């Protein structure tokens, strides 16, 4: 398969405007004749469904939770980037574009990233108009703070709950369309298969999570906005309900999966405290604006932090990266935290932690200023750890957080299945090998509010779509396959729980394909995953039935997908003989321990095709071209 990214020609600053003008339009009177499906109601899904409904399309929006307000987008705490340059500190659309391409270690398309930077300025206007309560200066203008990977203040925020406030804005827009009858919300429902007819995406098979009833939903186009796949690692900052089933089932129907090994470890998470944990808690990257990261200079120093004098502390990020200090990108901060802990200088009972200390900031700015900026984050930390971060430093350690890989999409956010569009974290498109902080919210809203309404309309106006009924053989085949998959999980009657398999899979992934990877470990991981998957299908125990609420059954389907996806992640990591961004192969690093890319041999998007159970996936490469930001060794010193 040859991949056509459909990136417009000509100057990059004119590309999106030219593309929009050249797209075909659907007459306003004809929009009501088109039915669309949006799966997911987080920032990307809610903004897309609301905007498409506003345009006059008939939209069904499927919500995994009981309400769109529970989407995992609320967990994005720190802020959202935009090139407004309100601080007058040198920011611009081009600088945001440059920082994002560089921050992604030159593994993202220039065209997509520039469009994202352009749309960023409109996103802020949109959200302010919706009433999102961004922080403001004394005079009333919007306030900014800095995030990792940038030397300007471009991150707009609402204390430490930016994602929640942005989601409420999108939710209100969505509910307006629900009230108008343009959007039908279908909550507590999980997509289990994609219906493909004549090579085009025409609907989904879904399961009601309360009653267990399967249903078929048909449309002219399907939009997936279902988030990332970080929970393949079991312990992550993702909500437990976050899963990859929708995009993985679409992958098995023919959508290529791009760059699965590009996973991001977040440096600012509360450390693991015991085997009983089922997830980890993120402390926002925004804390690195005012918190200083340090460890003792001496190995094995177990004194309380207040007993360690200043000259016996190692502020290692400030020492190694003086230009960016504590605001280096996430992959750099994470690897350095692991390195000092591996040296035996980690803090806490396990030694897997570093200090994030606000003493200097409190002394300089005052407690009330810190409380105004981060108060809810400090409260959350204290509730979880029973330690007061106003008085003692926070303890943090890297954890699985975000996934840059996802379904391959072209410039119009369409997958390799015509009519299947993929938004937000579910696609691979904008972040390359590493995501800069405060860019996920930006991408989700850009995709939903400002890109999909044009590209979906272009698809509808350009395609010949026959009427499809539930009796169509392809529809019935998808429904039957889903029924058989559920029956198979229930019929095993083994002795192990779903969670026990998931926890073991997650440990394999974290140990051998986590913060660092090497060829021997990846080969071993692939073999162990295959063996564990075989045991899963022979020794799984799912109590209950499929005819009512059954969370063990829900988890079983997702973990079955995680086994296949976990293997693909390791295969992709083994194939990519370089280090870049969040993909750190131990064999490929500079003498200073930084990631060492191989642009000549690996300057491409790796798009994998599903070839059947147990078969080796098929690799298709999309070469990346850099005209405006030439690849160089990333330096934050």
- Residue 274 pLDDT grade (very low, low, confident, very high; cuts 50, 70, 90): confident
607 forms beta bridges with: 258, 620
- Residue 7 pLDDT grade (very low, low, confident, very high; cuts 50, 70, 90): very high
- Residue 78 pLDDT grade (very low, low, confident, very high; cuts 50, 70, 90): confident
Q: Nearest CA to 460 among 414, 491, 494, 524? A: 414
Kindly state the average pLDDT of the residues 137-164.
92
- Residue 267 pLDDT grade (very low, low, confident, very high; cuts 50, 70, 90): very high
**Which pLDDT belongs to residue 156?**
96
Q: Is the pLDDT of residue 277 over 90?
A: no
What residue ranges define each of the domains in the chain, with the CATH number in brackets?
265-400 (3.90.700.10), 473-608 (1.20.58.100)
25-39 pLDDT, tens digit per residue, is 999 999 999 999 999
Q: Is the pLDDT of residue 604 over 80?
A: yes
Residue 627 neighbours by CB distance under 10 Å: 9
How is residue 578 written in tokens?
Answer: 């370089």
621-635 pLDDT, tens digit per residue, is 999 999 999 999 888
**Which pLDDT belongs to residue 25?**
97
The model's pTM? 0.96
Residue 262 DSSP symbol: -
Q: Is the pLDDT of residue 77 over 90?
A: no
Strand, helix or coil for residue 589:
strand
Evaluated on CA atoms 37, 43, 46, 51, the torsion sign reads negative
Catalytic residue check, 32: no
Q: Nearest CA to 223 among 57, 67, 435? A: 57
**Which pLDDT belongs to residue 30?**
96
Options 330, 517, 576, 585, the catalytic residue:
330
**Averaged pLDDT score across all residues of the chain:** 96
In total, the chain counts a number of residues equal to 637
**Which pLDDT belongs to residue 19?**
97
Kindly state the average pLDDT of the residues 268-290.
90
How is residue 520 written in tokens?
Answer: 């021997």
Q: Nearest CA to 229 among 620, 584, 569? A: 569
262 forms beta bridges with: none
Q: Are 492 and 537 in contact (CB under 8 A)?
A: yes
- Residue 159 pLDDT grade (very low, low, confident, very high; cuts 50, 70, 90): confident
**Which pLDDT belongs to residue 266?**
93
Q: Are 201 and 39 in contact (CB under 8 A)?
A: no
Q: Is the pLDDT of residue 371 over 90?
A: yes
More confident of the two residues 168 and 2: 168
How is residue 391 written in tokens?
Answer: 């008085």
Q: Nearest CA to 307 among 363, 347, 365? A: 347
Rounded to an integer, what distance in angstroms lies between the CA atom of residue 145 and that of residue 128?
17
Q: Are 262 and 433 in contact (CB under 8 A)?
A: yes
Q: Are 248 and 233 in contact (CB under 8 A)?
A: no
Q: Is the pLDDT of residue 1 over 80?
A: no
Residues 6+ apart with CB under 8 A from 401: 230, 236, 237, 238, 264, 265, 266, 269, 282, 330
How is residue 184 written in tokens?
Answer: 């039908």
Torsion angle (degrees, nearest 10) of CA 454, 456, 457, 459: 120
How is residue 509 written in tokens?
Answer: 């992934």
Alpha-carbon Rg for the chain in angstroms: 24
Q: Are 97 and 629 in contact (CB under 8 A)?
A: yes
Q: Is the pLDDT of residue 87 over 90?
A: no
Residue with tokens 């809810």: 376
Kindly state the average pLDDT of the residues 130-134.
95
616 to 312, 324, 489, 568: CA distances (angstroms): 52, 42, 24, 9
Rounded to an integer, what distance in angstroms lies between the CA atom of residue 379 and that of residue 269?
15
């Amino acid at each position: 398969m040859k991949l056509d990214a459909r990136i417009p020609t000509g100057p990059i600053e004119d590309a999106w405007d030219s593309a929009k003008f050249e797209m075909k339009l659907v007459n306003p009177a004809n929009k009501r004749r088109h039915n669309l499906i949006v799966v997911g109601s987080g920032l990307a899904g809610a903004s897309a469904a609301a905007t498409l409904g506003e345009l006059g399309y008939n939209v069904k929006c499927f919500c995994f939770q009981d309400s769109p307000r529970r989407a995992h987008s609320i967990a994005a705490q720190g802020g959202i980037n935009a090139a407004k340059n309100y601080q007058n500190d040198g920011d611009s659309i081009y600088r945001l574009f440059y920082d994002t391409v560089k921050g992604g270690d030159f593994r993202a398309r220039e065209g997509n990233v520039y469009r994202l930077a352009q749309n960023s300025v409109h996103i802020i206007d949109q959200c302010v108009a919706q009433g999102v309560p961004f922080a403001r200066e004394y005079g009333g203008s919007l306030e900014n703070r800095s995030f990792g990977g940038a030397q300007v203040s471009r991150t707009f925020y609402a204390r430490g709950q930016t994602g929640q406030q942005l989601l409420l804005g999108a939710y209100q827009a969505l509910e307006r369309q629900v009230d108008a009858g343009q959007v039908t919300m279908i909550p507590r429902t999980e997509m289990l298969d994609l219906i493909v007819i004549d090579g085009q995406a025409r609907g989904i098979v879904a399961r009601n999570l309360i009653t267990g009833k399967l249903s078929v939903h048909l449309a002219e186009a399907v939009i997936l906005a279902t988030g990332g796949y970080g929970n393949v690692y079991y312990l992550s900052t993702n909500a437990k309900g976050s899963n990859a089933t929708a995009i993985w089932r679409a992958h098995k129907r023919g959508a290529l999966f791009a760059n699965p090994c590009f996973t991001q470890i977040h440096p600012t998470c509360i450390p693991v405290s015991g085997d009983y944990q089922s997830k980890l808690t993120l402390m926002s990257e925004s804390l690195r604006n005012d918190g200083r990261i340090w460890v003792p200079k001496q190995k094995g120093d177990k004194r309380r932090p207040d007993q360690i004098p200043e000259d016996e502390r190692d502020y290692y990020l400030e020492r190694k990266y003086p230009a960016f200090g504590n605001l280096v990108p996430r992959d750099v901060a994470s690897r350095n935290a692991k390195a000092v802990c591996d040296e035996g200088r980690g803090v806490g009972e396990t030694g897997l932690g570093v200090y994030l200390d606000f003493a200097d900031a409190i002394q300089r700015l005052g407690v009330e200023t810190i409380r105004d900026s981060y108060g809810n984050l400090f409260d959350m930390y204290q509730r979880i750890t029973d330690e007061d971060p106003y008085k003692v430093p926070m303890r943090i350690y890297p954890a699985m957080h975000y996934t840059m890989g996802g379904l391959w999409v072209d410039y119009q956010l369409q997958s390799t299945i015509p009519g299947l569009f993929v938004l937000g974290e579910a696609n691979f498109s904008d972040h390359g090998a590493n995501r800069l902080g405060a860019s996920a919210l930006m991408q989700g809203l850009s995709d939903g509010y400002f890109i999909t309404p044009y590209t979906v309309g272009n698809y509808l106006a350009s395609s010949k779509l026959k009427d499809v009924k539930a009796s169509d053989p392809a529809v019935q085949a998808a429904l039957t396959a889903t029924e058989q998959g559920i029956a198979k999980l229930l019929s095993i009657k083994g002795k192990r729980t779903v969670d026990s398999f998931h926890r073991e899979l997650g440990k394999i992934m974290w140990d051998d394909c986590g913060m660092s990877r090497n060829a021997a470990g990846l080969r071993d991981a692939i073999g162990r995953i295959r063996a564990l998957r075989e045991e899963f299908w022979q020794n799984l125990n799912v109590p209950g039935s499929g005819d009512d609420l059954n969370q063990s059954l829900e988890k079983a389907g997702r973990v079955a997908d995680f086994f296949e996806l976990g293997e693909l992640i390791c295969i992709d990591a083994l194939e990519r003989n370089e280090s870049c961004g969040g993909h750190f192969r131990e064999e490929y690093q500079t003498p200073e321990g930084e990631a060492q890319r191989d642009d000549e041999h690996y300057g491409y998007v790796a798009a994998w095709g599903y070839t059947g159970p147990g078969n080796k996936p098929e690799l298709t490469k999309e070469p990346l071209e850099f005209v405006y930001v030439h690849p160089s060794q990333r330096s934050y010193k």
